[in-house]
Amino acid sequence: MARAVSSRRKALVTVIAWTIGLAIFFPILWTAILSFKSEGNAIASPLTVLTTPFTLESYETVQERSNYFGHFWNSVVISLGSTLLALVIAIPAAWAMAFVPGRRTKDLLMWMLSTKMMPAVGVLVPIYLIFRDLGLLDTRTGLVVVLMLMNLPIVVWMLYTYFREIPGEILEAARMDGATLKDELIHVLTPMAVPGIASTLLLNIILAWNEAFWTLNLTAAKAAPLTAFIASYSSPEGLFYAKLSAASTLAIAPILILGWFSQKQLVRGLTFGAVK
């Protein structure tokens, strides 16, 4: 029997939720506001900033100075490519761990996850040298590979969690009907785990889209994504707040729109298997 929740408690939880949400969203909102101000007004006090006129000057300067759509396309290719490649590798791996577990499966998963705790700078030099020797520096292919490797532990872990919620009897019934391993993966397991796979896809696209360390160190101009596009507005002479805000707004707008329209699927995937 469900426990009744008082109106006071509902109101308190609502206020707390809105407060946390606004606190998280405020930096994005403030960045967007500064992007519509001139450089002189952008460094004024907060109350003064809100009362100064809006202008598109910073966006015009950014468009004239940089190839935004080139950086945008690089981000799309790198984030989608690395995520899809990770899924191709992670789905069979997670299937094996979930339905043919060994004695060391949990240890293997923990080891994979522990690799994410290592500072990325610790492997920068060897990866840079490997990329230099293979001709992968400043290429989208190189970034797709390195971001796939960086996010693969998270993809495997998430898919393993979702696959564990699928009854093994369903797969056994498919085998009895003559399904091969390929049929079992493609036609039985994958359709049943679509919510989990979709949420994994979305989260890892966001991770790859926002990755700055590897994109700044392994690219120069040709394959530079939007993270490098933002960094180009930070110079030794100082920060140009309005232009930097305009560049940041242009860079995060696509991923914000994607998150807004896919939020139901994302929540459904994150809660997949939570309610029996």
Check residue 239 and give its pLDDT.
Answer: 66
User: Is residue 52 situated within a structural domain?
Assistant: no
Over residues 219-241, the pLDDT tens digits come to 888 889 999 888 887 765 456 78
User: Is residue 243 situated within a structural domain?
Assistant: no
Whole-angstrom Cα distance, residue 233 to residue 211? 17
User: Is residue 212 situated within a structural domain?
Assistant: yes
Over residues 3-29, the pLDDT tens digits come to 556 788 888 989 999 999 899 889 999
Check residue 133 and give its pLDDT.
Answer: 92
User: Is residue 267 situated within a structural domain?
Assistant: no
User: Is residue 197 situated within a structural domain?
Assistant: yes
User: Is residue 77 situated within a structural domain?
Assistant: yes
| CB-based contact 255:27 (threshold 8 Å) | no
User: Is residue 259 situated within a structural domain?
Assistant: no
Looking up residue 221, the CATH number of its domain turns out to be 1.10.3720.10
Check residue 235 and give its pLDDT.
Answer: 64
Comparing CA positions, the residue from 141, 185, 182, 139 lying closest to residue 159 is: 185
User: Is residue 20 situated within a structural domain?
Assistant: no
183 contacts: CB under 8 Å, gap ≥ 6: 174
Structural domain range at position 80: 67-232
Over residues 65-87, the pLDDT tens digits come to 888 999 999 999 999 999 999 99
pLDDT band, residue 119 (cuts 50/70/90):
confident
Q: Domain total for the chain? A: 1
Check residue 80 and give its pLDDT.
Answer: 94
